[in-house]
Structure 1
Amino acid sequence: MVLFQAQNIQKRFGARVVLENISLSIEAGTVHGIMGPNGAGKTTCFHVLTGHHAPDAGRILFDGQDITGLKPHIIARKGVSRSFQLMNLFDDAVVIENVMLALPGFRAVGSSPFRTTFGDTGLIKAALAVLEQVGLAGRAWEKAKELSYGDRRALEIAVALAAEPRILFLDEPTAGLGAKATQNLAQLIQQLRKRYTICLIEHDMRFLFELADRISVIHWGQVIAEGTPAALKANKWVARSALGEVA
């Protein structure tokens, strides 16, 4: 069943066409990859799909409902959550506070978003359950800035999961990670795929080919190929012109 669909999406910034007739379909319960060279339009595509940029033309459907042009927080409430290429964490807050801020039931107290009532055991349990999914429950009361870079990536995913999504968009989750942290992240995504539909942009081709069920290749703002990892590997033109050789 198709859970998320983009139909003939176009996006311009002034006279510059960034996305041209982008169409893709993401099946429920799958990992869908988006790949392509720098400047291809991948992140802009994510911004449009999740409401951070309005498309100039085309439609976006989530579970059959038209969400084209809706604000990001409204799209998030419907079950679409995302991470960003550059991490958005509150470094001086503790890990669990970062997650609590994203919970649907969270309410700030007074003028500060961090003046929460930690006697609210329901919120604490919900936040800890999310942190358990990414392996950070044991570090819930440490400050975010004390985490390793890899654990900060995991925390960012936890923040996205706290919104209770049905589909999770991840923008270059391996950026800046070493080999071990990348391996740990791959294992985490393998666990998360049992509960969530996932779409991810990724430059690490081996990482993406290991995880994705299907991949859309974007080049010059257009989808130039789509298929299984095996099919794309066999397409020599795609491998050489858009991806670089993938062993």
Structure 2
Amino acid sequence: MALFEARNIHKRFGSRVVLEDISLSFEEGQVSGIMGPNGAGKTTCFHCLTGHHKPTRGSIVFDGEDITGKAPQRIARKGVSRSFQMMNLFDDSAVIENIILALPDFRRRYAQITTSVFDDRALLDQALEVLDQVGLLGHEWQPSLSLSYGNRRALEIGVALAAKPRIVFLDEPTSGLGAEATRQLAELIGKLRKKYTFVMIEHDMRFLFELADKISVIHWGQVIAEGTPDDLQSNKWVQRSALGEVA
């Protein structure tokens, strides 16, 4: 059984059908990709998978448990983390504070904060370990807004990892990045994939084809193709699109 499965997901907003009979599965230890043109339903699909939208029908199963319609916070506590296309960081806080606020131990111990979290050595050590994973040691006391755009993307991934997930959903992680920052992000995910399962929506097809074990193509709210990057090289939809040059 796959670690995460979506089964016949349908989502409509009023009379508008955005997702129609979407089925996806993500294997533990793999990098899975989702691609397709603008307006295809990719982000709505992510919102359904992570609890931000409730599917109109269908089911979502994580590690054998039906999580369909559960609140995002409940799904996150079960081991599902995600980033967003628009970065969601506390810009005026230090880098390490962004990580600490996402740690499960922080949420358990400091529901009502009466002392400084910086006096808690265990929390600091956990946060520093996460920053080490994403290559941001040495930046821990900088304001988050002062980081380069590429490092802010790395910090956003660090915030997702701080929750100690089993699967991480990344929505357009290369958005806004230049060539060098995109290369560095590819190296980072290549390193992290040894420990985490990733699912990515991505517009940069070269980035996705180099990293993903399996890619699903969504168009018109449906999965129209699925397979390894090599499989998609011969797919007629890919060949007819601008993606064919990358594939």
With normalisation by structure 1, the TM-score equals 0.95
1:169 paired to 2:169: yes
Cα deviation, 1:150-191, whole Å, max 9, x if unaligned, reads 000000000000000000000000000000000000000001
Structure 2 counterparts to residues 197-212 of structure 1, below 5 A: 197-212=197-212
- Whether the 8 Å CA contact 1:167–1:197 is kept in 2: the answer is yes
- Whether the 8 Å CA contact 1:42–1:218 is kept in 2: the answer is yes
Q: Find the counterpart in structure 1 of residue 143 from structure 2.
A: 143
- Whether the 8 Å CA contact 2:233–2:244 is kept in 1: the answer is no
1:180 paired to 2:180: yes
Cα shift at 1:46? 0.4
1:42 paired to 2:42: yes
- Whether the 8 Å CA contact 2:81–2:167 is kept in 1: the answer is yes
- Whether the 8 Å CA contact 1:2–1:25 is kept in 2: the answer is yes
Structure 1 pair 100–15 and aligned structure 2 pair: CA distance change class (3 A): same
1:218 paired to 2:218: yes
Cα shift at 1:110? 4.4
- Whether the 8 Å CA contact 2:79–2:163 is kept in 1: the answer is yes
- Give the match's secondary structure for 1:2: coil
Q: Aligned partners of 1:22 and 1:239: how far apart in 2? A: 22
Q: Which runs of 5+ in 1 are unaligned?
A: none
- Whether the 8 Å CA contact 1:37–1:242 is kept in 2: the answer is no
- Whether the 8 Å CA contact 1:215–1:228 is kept in 2: the answer is yes
1:60 paired to 2:60: yes
1:81 paired to 2:81: yes
- Whether the 8 Å CA contact 1:239–1:246 is kept in 2: the answer is no
- Whether the 8 Å CA contact 1:36–1:242 is kept in 2: the answer is no
Q: Find the counterpart in structure 1 of residue 126 from structure 2.
A: 126
Q: Aligned partners of 2:99 and 2:47: how far apart in 1? A: 22
1:90 paired to 2:84: no
Cα shift at 1:234? 1.5
Q: Find the counterpart in structure 2 of residue 193 from structure 1.
A: 193
Cα shift at 1:195? 0.2
Cα deviation, 1:74-97, whole Å, max 9, x if unaligned, reads 000000000000000010000000
- Give the match's secondary structure for 2:12: strand
Cα shift at 1:109? 4.7
1:69 paired to 2:58: no
Q: Aligned partners of 2:183 and 2:209: how far apart in 1? A: 13
Q: Aligned partners of 1:179 and 1:241: how far apart in 2? A: 22
Q: Aligned partners of 2:2 and 2:245: how far apart in 1? A: 30
Cα shift at 1:221? 0.6
- Give the match's secondary structure for 1:140: coil
Cα shift at 1:246? 2.2
Q: Which amino acid aligns with 2:25?
A: S
Q: Which runs of 5+ in 2 are unaligned?
A: none
Cα shift at 1:233? 1.2
